[in-house]
Amino acid sequence: MRRAPVELRQGCMTARDLQQAPAAAPARTPQEVLSEEAARYALLRRVAPALRHHLAGTLQPIGMVAAIMDRRLQAAQPDLTAIRESSKSISTLTRSAAGASMGLLTWLAPKESSVGPLHASVEECLGMLTTDLAFRGFSVSNTIATSDMAASVFALRSVFTAALIALTDAALTPARIVISSHATDGQLGVVISVSSEPGAVAAEDPPSYRKLGWDDVQALATAEQVGLSHEAGRAEMHFMAAENADVTV
């Protein structure tokens, strides 16, 4: 069966959306496609422990409240008011966990057309890696201010996260990471700088999977039409900007 055009299938694109739509990506060779798929797999393997950690964190409170309610039910004269409150808490926590879990699943099955505020998307990516970076001896300073500038959530999750991992894989620790941004010519520049502290030593290899290299990051940047430049301790990316965009996730 012939697939309907994107405009008809989505049913919600406006003239402004069409005007702001980026140019179609140039055709890529089979080798480039394979390189992208390998890079995406490697990136997912590196963030998988963080996804598991965040998922467990959303479910743990439910088990704790359920255990408390179970003890209350075993009392000779159960306090029905307290049990009712525990039941309400479980219901609230369950809805929250379901929403958070669906959000985490978008890292595995993303909506490639979604856009979001630059500062929020970067903060989400950093939040996914904060625990791992802290254990490896990195401190993070995100200087990106709140604004109306938006960019592709999928591109940021892919290219920004991969660049951050590639930089930290090659860095000496302890080290400081600084994230900054600037807007030029309809694009959002995002800069990651890593500076090692006196007495820094080589970081341990990641326990979850292999290190990410710049070939991996470049493969993702090419696929997402993101400009990328890098040098020792620094990477700069240029994402297509969507100013005052209606955020969709």
Question: What is the token pair recorded at 9?
Answer: 């299938």
Scanning the structure block, which residue is given the tokens 């860095």?
171
Q: What is the pLDDT of residues 149-159, one digit of tens each?
A: 899 999 999 99
Question: Under 8 Å CB-to-CB from 71, ≥6 apart: which residues?
Answer: none
Question: What is the token pair recorded at 64?
Answer: 């704790």
Domains along the sequence of the chain with CATH = 30-105 (no CATH), 115-240 (3.30.565.10)
Q: What is the pLDDT of residues 156-169, one digit of tens each?
A: 999 999 999 999 99
* pTM as predicted: 0.80
pLDDT grade, residue 17 (50/70/90)? very low
Which whole number is the average pLDDT over 191-201?
Answer: 92
Q: What is the pLDDT of residues 19-28, one digit of tens each?
A: 444 556 678 8
Mean pLDDT of the chain: 86
